[in-house]
């Protein structure tokens, strides 16, 4: 079976198993994946963490940016998707777990700081308290020059939950940039690029 077909079959199987944790109608397009992965440094040996990789659309784009450099860790809550990823991307450290436990997962991997966190999580299906916990844990996990990026579907940007999530990003990060729309995605999406966690986050990191 061609790779694309296996990719789609794995995605649809995940939707059937747990529609409340997938949150998309199709996998992310290569254009959206490339936009998300664009924050991965071209030089050095960065540590990149991917939250909610699903069937690996963004995983592939991250690997193209990294080549054989650095370290790529993917946190996936669905064990079957995690196993699929391990087979499709043997060079990626795939962890089965909840993004809300990110800090503990990183400690277990002996990772003290992360250069880039890229999220494919379905924020509209995550409670506000859990959203805050994940975003704050992400911010605490970043290195001093680190970057967090995620996406939102354009059609939902005016929804109350979307505005609340954007406000949360601004509360946690000093800089939140919204990119131009990726029209070649179903549905079209924008990405948020977040840098420099506010001082209260860095104080919390020291306390940890």
Q: What is the CATH number of the domain that holds 8?
A: 3.40.50.150
**What range defines the domain where residue 93 resides?**
3-18+29-207
In a domain, 47, yes or no: yes
45 vs 8: CA distance, rounded Å: 31
Instruction: Report the chain's mean pLDDT, rounded to a whole number.
Output: 89
- DSSP label at 176? E
In a domain, 23, yes or no: no
In a domain, 164, yes or no: yes
pLDDT in tens, 132-189: 999 999 999 999 999 999 999 999 999 999 999 999 999 999 999 999 999 999 999 9
Q: Which of 3-7, 119-123, 166-170 has the lowest mean pLDDT?
A: 3-7
- Predicted confidence at residue 10, as pLDDT, reads 46
91, 63 in Cβ contact below 8 A?
yes
- Higher pLDDT residue, 3 or 195? 195
- Predicted confidence at residue 158, as pLDDT, reads 95
Compute the radius of gyration of the chain from its Cα atoms: 16
Torsion of CA 55, 195, 93, 91, to 10 degrees: 80
In a domain, 128, yes or no: yes
Torsion of CA 123, 128, 131, 137, to 10 degrees: 180
Extract the tokens encoding 107. Answer: 């400690």
Residue 13 has pLDDT above 90, yes or no: no
In a domain, 115, yes or no: yes
202 vs 122: CA distance, rounded Å: 26
In a domain, 24, yes or no: no
Q: Which residues neighbour 135 within 8 Å (Cβ) at sequence distance 6 or greater?
A: 148, 168, 169, 172
In a domain, 103, yes or no: yes
- Higher pLDDT residue, 208 or 128? 128
pLDDT in tens, 15-32: 444 544 444 557 889 999
Extract the tokens encoding 182. Answer: 């990726």
Cite the DSSP H helix spans in 79-194. Answer: 79-88, 102-108, 128-141, 160-172
- DSSP β-bridge partners for residue 148: 117, 194
Distances (CA, A) of 24 to 52, 73, 164: 12, 22, 20
Number of domains observed in the structure of the chain: 1
In a domain, 183, yes or no: yes
């Amino acid at each position: 079976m061609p790779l694309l077909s296996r990719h789609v079959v794995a995605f649809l199987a995940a939707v059937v198993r747990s529609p409340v944790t997938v949150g998309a109608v199709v996998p992310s397009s290569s254009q959206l994946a490339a936009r998300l992965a664009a924050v991965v440094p071209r030089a050095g040996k960065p540590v990149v963490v991917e939250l909610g990789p699903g069937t690996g659309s963004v995983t592939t784009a991250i690997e193209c940016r990294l080549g054989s450099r650095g370290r790529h860790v993917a946190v996936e809550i669905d064990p079957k998707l995690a196993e699929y990823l391990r087979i499709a991307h043997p060079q990626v450290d795939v962890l089965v777990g909840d993004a809300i436990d990110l800090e503990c997962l990183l400690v277990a991997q002996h990772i003290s700081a992360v250069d880039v966190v890229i999220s494919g999580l379905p924020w509209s299906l995550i409670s506000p308290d859990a959203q805050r916990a994940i975003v704050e844990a992400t911010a605490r996990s970043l290195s001093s020059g680190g970057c967090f990026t995620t996406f939102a579907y354009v059609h939902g940007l005016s929804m109350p939950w979307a505005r609340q999530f954007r406000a949360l990003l601004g509360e946690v990060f000093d800089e939140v940039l919204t990119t131009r729309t990726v029209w070649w995605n179903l549905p079209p999406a924008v990405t948020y690029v977040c840098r420099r966690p506010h001082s209260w986050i860095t104080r919390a990191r020291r306390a940890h």
